Structure 1
Amino acid sequence: MKTTKKLMTLTLGVLLMTSAIAFANNNDPIKKNQNETNTELKSEEKATIVGVAAANENFSTLVAAVKAADLVGTLNSEGPFTVFAPTNEAFAKLPEGTVESLLKAENKATLSSILTYHVVAGKFMAADVVKAIKDNDGKFEITTVNGEKLTAHIMDGKVMLKDAKGNNSTIILTDVAASNGVIHALDTVVMP
């Protein structure tokens, strides 16, 4: 009888402890955010580059430009692509009126050229880019979809892209997964 009572008490204790741990894990803000992030990532992995960008308000200017340049179909295709995506703040750094002008139908070819300068055929994660830079004596030339080159290098511990005009842009967010490639966010629009 004492053994049965001890066994029941032990079982009840284990059940209560297991329940408490499960409750704590489900209500732990860090774990909860990790679970939410994992769910979001799984959802984003199913979305194309355009879908992922459209779901993030920081890329609303880029999405508008992609639509105006008629590149939605291309960036929704199988790929894979690596997109160095300027944020809204990056577009805001351009001279006043530039974005509005580029979005006009008569500037579609120029806009398309600028946008495809931000796209590379193939999927290159941040670690791949850093390795390529290190393997090539600190500089790595990247041929973009529009045929022009970007030069990746590291400055002050950050990966930078130097455009054809000699201007630098910093990669501020990396490895945003999409079903047809990956997005790395830029703080400045690069120009061919």
Structure 2
Amino acid sequence: MRKTIGIAVAAAALLVACGSDDNDATTTEAPTTEAPMTTEAPMDTEAPAEEPGDIVAIASGSEDFSTLVAAVSAAGLVETLQGEGPFTVFAPTNAAFEALPAGLVDKLLLPENKDLLVQILTYHVVSGAVMAADVVAGDVPSVEGSNIAVTTNDGGVQVNGANVTTADLVASNGVIHVIDAVILPPGVDVSAL
């Protein structure tokens, strides 16, 4: 008897649900255990990391390197420092250039002094990308051809006595280490300018 009453109650509930005159647009669906099929790959919600620019792009993006960028341009080294590399550049700041004798930078930027400017700028460049943590004290050959004296002390790095004030600015074609002085190759005398 109880079985018959249970079936009758279930049937009545089914009839009421099917015979409802409500024009209510809401419906319920039975939950599914299968994931919906799709032909599209899931979308990556994280934005891709931006590639760092090349050495010239990074230097151009900083007001602290406007004199260096002008010098690199006057020396015709833009394409070289945008090249594949890798390079390590010891980049003097504007303040480092301002510490040179008055008028020297303007004279170096003149077309007749281009060879000397190239010599000075390439002395600030080493082949390969060397991070500060990997620096070993000693003489390192510059792209100019002369050695740069690299020293380390108390976690700091110096090149020919110039302090590395900011290290490891990573570029797509190398690394920049900011220095607080312009370094000159051996035998270069700028006093005659």
Normalized against structure 1, the TM-score is what? Answer: 0.69
Q: Count residues with an aligned counterpart.
A: 138
Shift of residue 151, structure 1, vs aligned partner: 0.8
- Give the counterpart of 1:107 among 103, 106, 113: 113
Query: What does residue range 134-173 of structure 1 map to in structure 2 within 5 Å?
Result: 140-155=138-153, 157-162=155-160, 168-173=161-166
Query: What does residue range 10-49 of structure 1 map to in structure 2 within 5 Å?
Result: 42-43=49-50, 45-49=51-55
Q: Does 1:53 align with 2:59?
A: yes
Q: Which amino acid aligns with 1:150?
A: I
Matching residue of 1:185:
178
Query: CA–CA distance in 2 between the matches of 1:156 and 1:87?
Result: 23
Q: Does 1:64 align with 2:62?
A: no
The structure that has the greater radius of gyration is 2
Query: CA–CA distance in 2 between the matches of 1:151 and 1:101?
Result: 27
Query: CA–CA distance in 1 between the matches of 2:140 and 2:177?
Result: 14
Q: Which amino acid aligns with 1:104?
A: L
Which runs of 5 or more structure 2 residues have no equivalent in the other structure? 1-46, 186-193
Query: CA–CA distance in 2 between the matches of 1:104 and 1:111?
Result: 9
Matching residue of 1:176:
169
Matching residue of 1:18:
none
Query: CA–CA distance in 1 between the matches of 2:120 and 2:154?
Result: 27
Q: Which amino acid aligns with 1:161?
A: V
Of all paired residues, the percent bearing the same amino acid is 51
Shift of residue 155, structure 1, vs aligned partner: 4.0
RMSD: 1.4
Query: CA–CA distance in 2 between the matches of 1:90 and 1:155?
Result: 21
Q: Which amino acid aligns with 2:140?
A: I
Q: Does 1:94 align with 2:100?
A: yes
Shift of residue 161, structure 1, vs aligned partner: 1.1
Normalized against structure 2, the TM-score is what? Answer: 0.69
Which runs of 5 or more structure 1 residues have no equivalent in the other structure? 1-38, 134-139, 163-167
Query: CA–CA distance in 1 between the matches of 2:145 and 2:152?
Result: 23
